[in-house]
Amino acid sequence: MTTVPEVRARKGSAPLVMVTAYDSPGARAADEAGVDLLLVGDSVAMTVLGYPDTLHVTVEDMVHHTAAVARAKPAALIVADLPWLSYHTSRRDAVSNAGRLVRAGARAVKLEGGRKRVAVVEALVDAEIPVMGHLGLTPQSFHAMGGFKVQGKGLDAARQVIDDAKALDAAGCFAVVLEGIPTEVARLVTDNIEIPTIGIGAGPSCDGQVLVWHDVLGFGGGDYAVAPKFVRRYADLRSAAIEGIAAYAADVRSRAFPSDSESYHLRPDVAEALL
């Protein structure tokens, strides 16, 4: 079973692989594929629950999906997202909400933000809850950022990301996600902190990469159809699903399904007496 210290020790060595997971079959598939970390991301809001952004997800939702992932008993390290407003109100709320995720099966939690989260990170670490940071394009700041936009592009903004990363490292985070920032900034962060960086839309210099399950496997559609440019799609599960369900519908309508071998039968003597 992958542990937090093992992930922390991977700094500068073999790249860490993280993918999101929201349910047992998804977690089992990713775990059997050999990923290092499973992130029960608040992206579940958009990928699974049909919301337009991550702000709608509650602690209850995250507990529900974390428990489903944990029931798959993956070897990968389960990290669960603290949702919006679950750690912004007080350190006490943060510890209590993170504790609920740990009791649901998470072995670490992730939260968004840099220097302004230091007190919360310290409180969580003090409560023996490992914390992963998340900097750059932080989706919970969607309104404050004015949309999903690449961050850290100007000189000041780039320096802010680097300072935030150093602060999270010093506060005790064991890793940090860098999302939607220029490659050069991600490289500087990676070279200037002691903990692994895990990139998404942050170029190839990070200590690992993370992608969203539905993006990797092509299982979007509806409002969640357009993948950002940093997504590389490795399968087209949506087309396979539509094809499969359409074939099932056609077989039902033509009475080709179910066949005799897919049906249960009475013993001949019971059938004769009954009929």
Binding region for ligand KIV (CB under 6 A): 20, 39, 41-43, 81, 177, 179, 200, 210, 212
**Rounded distance between C-alpha atoms, residue 79 and residue 108, angstroms:** 5
Asked if 199 and 178 count as a contact pair (C-beta separation under 8 A), the reply is: yes
* Least distance in angstroms from the C-beta of 203 to ligand KIV: 15
The residue with tokens 């962060």 is 189
Kindly tell me which of 39 and 262 has the beta carbon lying closer to ligand KIV. 39
Catalytic, 179? Answer yes
Catalytic pick among 6, 128, 179, 184? 179
Kindly tell me which of 118 and 211 has the beta carbon lying closer to ligand KIV. 211
**Rounded distance between C-alpha atoms, residue 42 and residue 62, angstroms:** 7
Written in H, E and C, the secondary structure of 33-78 is CCCCEEEECCCHHHHCCCCCCHHHCCHHHHHHHHHHHHCCCCCCEE
**Position with the least CB separation from ligand KIV:** 41
Kindly tell me which of 4 and 210 has the beta carbon lying closer to ligand KIV. 210
* Least distance in angstroms from the C-beta of 43 to ligand KIV: 3
Kindly tell me which of 10 and 214 has the beta carbon lying closer to ligand KIV. 214
Kindly tell me which of 88 and 156 has the beta carbon lying closer to ligand KIV. 88
State the DSSP code for 155: H
Query: What's the token pair of residue 234?
Result: 């490795």
* Least distance in angstroms from the C-beta of 54 to ligand KIV: 6
H helices of the chain, in order, are: 4-8, 24-32, 44-47, 59-70, 91-104, 118-126, 142-145, 155-171, 183-192, 213-216, 237-253, 268-274
* Least distance in angstroms from the C-beta of 81 to ligand KIV: 5
Residue 204 CA to its chain's centroid (Å): 19
For residue 55, give every residue at least 6 positions away whose Cβ sits within 8 Å of its Cβ, in sequence order, or none.
45, 84, 140, 142, 143
* Least distance in angstroms from the C-beta of 191 to ligand KIV: 21
Active site residues: 179
